[in-house]
A and B are shown apart, each in its own frame.
Chain A
């Protein structure tokens, strides 16, 4: 098989990885530095980084603990709470067709839980 050069996507990724993360490692004392650390193109590195790298460095992980506790007990409890709230609203208001509104209130919770289960 033939190798891909920088003109192909895979080749470009290979070049970016090498030029930004590899190459000769020099002693820092002769390079331009801040607090003895050689200057690096921090924003450029971030611009090149993909989502996977962002997750690796913890930028996109905050949602995980928030979603991880959503299990069947949570689902049951949440739906029950919604039912009770809906019942209270029904009792406090004039009789009318509330079923649509109640459905709308519950549905987002169900879909959120279903989404989280798919991710777990």
Chain B
């Protein structure tokens, strides 16, 4: 039965805004469900997740999800974006959610109004990271692969990994405050564990910036990107996915997220 509500985002809306909003995932017609001045941007769907093994299909759905949020943002201002596949059981459960958490939702909409999110990842070449330390004594002798030489080599590799880890940390401590000083909010994220072509990931973060106030961040990241052996990956603008946090966490049961 098609009675569940796939929810793209929550916006500030009035009864007059009970409009259609184009189409969303799989070209489903999107509408705004308004309750007490808060609108949920939804489409009707069966009670099952959108799921697929096909990466191309997955990308298409995620883009449709995001573009629908984009249209809502253009119509109603900064939205609270939902994770892909957030599906309320039915209209009643959606209404219950909006009524019960009205003040929390309003306060979150106020805080995030007029902001955009940007993603930042910084990579350093390993050679550059290692140059910051004293050179490791004794280079490995590749002609001697037996016995103690093998264990010496393992020991040197361990020492090298430790130096990279320490210098990764010091790079993070150098870059993080520079970025923090030019954004409204910053949230640190897990570093990638493995090296890629760009080197070692030394900082990954999402930044919240007031619309039109991005020049400071562009400048700082440009300066960092100009450093030798350093590459910055800068993406956005995004809806504030990383800053919307938990909603309805004061509801009874399954309250594991806190506020």
Quick one: given A4-B233, A47-B58, are A24 and B53 in contact (CB under 8 Å)?
Answer: no
B246 contacts the other chain (Cβ, under 8 Å)?
A: yes
Q: Which residue of B lies closest to A76 (CB)?
A: B146
**What CA separation (Å) do A11 and B59 show in the bound complex?**
12
Could you tell me if A25 and B119 are in contact, using CB atoms closer than 8 angstroms?
Answer: no
Whether B55 lies near A48 (C-beta < 8 A) is yes
Q: How far is the CB of A104 from chain B (nearest CB, A)?
A: 24
A12 at the interface (CB under 8 A from B): yes
Number of B positions contacting A (CB below 8 A): 69
Q: Is the CB of B234 within 8 A of A18?
A: no
**Is A22's CB under 8 angstroms from B235's CB?**
no
Q: Are B145 and A72 in contact (CB under 8 A)?
A: yes
Of A14, A22, A55, most buried by chain B (CB within 10 Å of CB) is A22
Complex: how many Å from CA A36 to CA B253?
A: 10
Q: Which of A16, A24, A31, A42 contacts B80 (CB 8 A)?
A: A24
Contact yes or no, B251 A29, CB < 8 A: yes
Complex-state Cα separation, A120 to B154, whole angstroms? 9
The answer to the question of A91 belonging to the interface, with a C-beta cut-off of 8 Å to chain B, is no
Interface of A is mostly: helix
Docked pose: A28 CA to B248 CA in angstroms: 9
Closest A residue to B54 by beta carbon equals A47
Note all chain B residues with C-beta closer than 8 A to A43: 51-53
Contact B246–A46 (Cβ < 8 Å)? no
Instruction: Tell me the count of chain A residues lying within 8 A, CB to CB, of chain B.
Output: 46
Contact in complex: B235, A4 (CB < 8 Å): yes
Given contacts A6-B63, A48-B58, contact A22 B234 (CB under 8 A): no
Q: Which of B65, B89, B214 is close to A30, meaning CB atoms less than 8 Å apart?
A: B89
A3–B233 Cα gap in the complex (Å)?
Answer: 8
Interface flags for A36-74 (1: CB within 8 Å of B; 0: not) read 101111111011100010011000000000000001100
B242 in the interface (beta carbon within 8 A): yes
Per CB-CB distance, the 6 closest pairs between chain A and chain B, nearest first, are A23-B83, A14-B235, A18-B241, A27-B248, A22-B241, A30-B93
Name 18 extra pairs, CB < 8 A, besides A14-B236, A29-B254.
A2-B218, A6-B66, A12-B59, A18-B117, A19-B83, A24-B10, A24-B246, A24-B247, A26-B248, A27-B247, A30-B94, A31-B87, A31-B89, A32-B48, A39-B85, A44-B53, A47-B52, A71-B150
